[in-house]
Amino acid sequence: MQTMKLSNGIAIPSVGYGTWQSPDSEITVTGVKAAVSCGYRHIDAAAIYGNEVSVGKGIAACGIPREDLFITSKVWNADRGYDQTLAAFEKTLSDLGLDYLDLYLIHWPAASHRFKRWEEINLSTWQAMTELYKAGKIRAIGVSNFKPHHLAALMKTEVQPQVNQIEFHPGFLQEDTVRYCRENGILVEAWSPLGTGRMLSNPELQEIARHYGKSAAQVCIRWCLQHEALPLPKSVTPSRIQENIDVFDFEISTADMKSIDLMDNFGGSGLDPDKVLF
């Protein structure tokens, strides 16, 4: 598995295994084990997915030493604030059965449409994450779904975010946020690289994929990598888990990259951090 580098020097495996909507059951335990046996070393979890116990069982049973895995989780919106974040972190560690995380993210920013003191809330959450980072309980800290105006206050603190995990797939490039992250040394991770599957029936993507002897899913994942956005494909289906990591033996041409870049937004989630009601 190739790696990318975070601003604090830590290596992060270039494709992560997504776990949103994976059930809290044996299906997810098996999915995590299958992913590791296919070569994934990076697992993207979150408290709100309600399946961290199953993800943790998969990690425990996967047969790979803990230090060779890269495990991410996220603090949910209901747990924003200093004390709540510390407590949420302990619950996640216990559910996953781990004693440290590789990466911990603020799942969504507190934003002005819902909170008068939104910036203060984000800063107090960030303070807790910074302390956990400095205590060695997390190897890297970051955010998710933050736009530049949400990130600005965090950039002036003692430890700056190392990752921003955002929606990123053909038709949804979030260019302003990606540019801001690049300029500030923040790695962009791509959530829903397949548009939660909605990308895959697109005839244009299918045609490009045929040209490379690959699937539309592999083209979406490869397209993220060539944009230096770290893709997090999710599947609980063993053949797809394997397919989604077989993306290092081809390169999308500049012309095809451009065609994909110019596609309309045909499969986005429609979620805007400045409008969501959760």
Active-site residue list: 49
Q: How far is CA 185 from CA 142, 161, 164, 169, 178, in A?
A: 12, 9, 10, 21, 11
Q: In terms of CB distance, is 55 or 86 closer to ligand NDP?
A: 55
Residues in the chain: 278
User: Contacting ligand NDP (CB under 6 A), which of 96, 243, 247, 273?
Assistant: 243
Distance CA 111, CA 119 (A): 8
Distance CA 246, CA 240 (A): 10
Among 211, 209, 213, 210, which Cα is nearest to 221's?
Answer: 209
Q: How far is the CB of 197 from ligand NDP (least distance, A)?
A: 3
192 binds ligand NDP (CB under 6 A): yes
Query: Binding string to ligand NDP for residues 207 to 236, with x set by CB under 6 A, is what?
Result: --------x-x--------------xxxxx
Query: Binding string to ligand NDP for residues 128 to 167, with x set by CB under 6 A, is what?
Result: ----------------xx-------------------x--
For residues 24-63, which are near ligand NDP according to CB under 6 A?
44
Q: In terms of CB distance, is 19 or 130 closer to ligand NDP?
A: 19
For 198, how many CA atoms within 13 A lie in the half-sphere containing its CB?
15
DSSP notation for 55-105: HHHHHHHS-S-GGG-EEEEEE-GGG-SHHHHHHHHHHHHHHHT-S-EEEEE
Do residues 112 and 149 make contact, with C-beta atoms less than 8 angstroms apart?
Answer: no
191 binds ligand NDP (CB under 6 A): yes
Q: In terms of CB distance, is 162 or 235 closer to ligand NDP?
A: 235
Per DSSP, the three-state class of 250 is coil
Q: In terms of CB distance, is 78 or 134 closer to ligand NDP?
A: 78
Rg, Å, the chain Cα set? 18
Q: How far is the CB of 144 from ligand NDP (least distance, A)?
A: 4
Among 91, 271, 68, which Cα is nearest to 165's?
Answer: 271
194 binds ligand NDP (CB under 6 A): yes
For residues 80-139, which are near ligand NDP according to CB under 6 A?
107
User: Contacting ligand NDP (CB under 6 A), which of 84, 124, 240, 274?
Assistant: 240
Do residues 17 and 241 make contact, with C-beta atoms less than 8 angstroms apart?
Answer: yes
Distance CA 148, CA 143 (A): 11
Q: In terms of CB distance, is 135 or 277 closer to ligand NDP?
A: 277
User: Contacting ligand NDP (CB under 6 A), which of 161, 171, 193, 268?
Assistant: 193
Distance CA 127, CA 143 (A): 13
Q: In terms of CB distance, is 107 or 150 closer to ligand NDP?
A: 107
Q: How far is the CB of 27 from ligand NDP (least distance, A)?
A: 9
Q: Footprint of ligand NDP on this chain (CB under 6 A)?
A: 18-21, 44, 107, 144-145, 165, 191-197, 200, 215, 217, 232-237, 240, 243-244
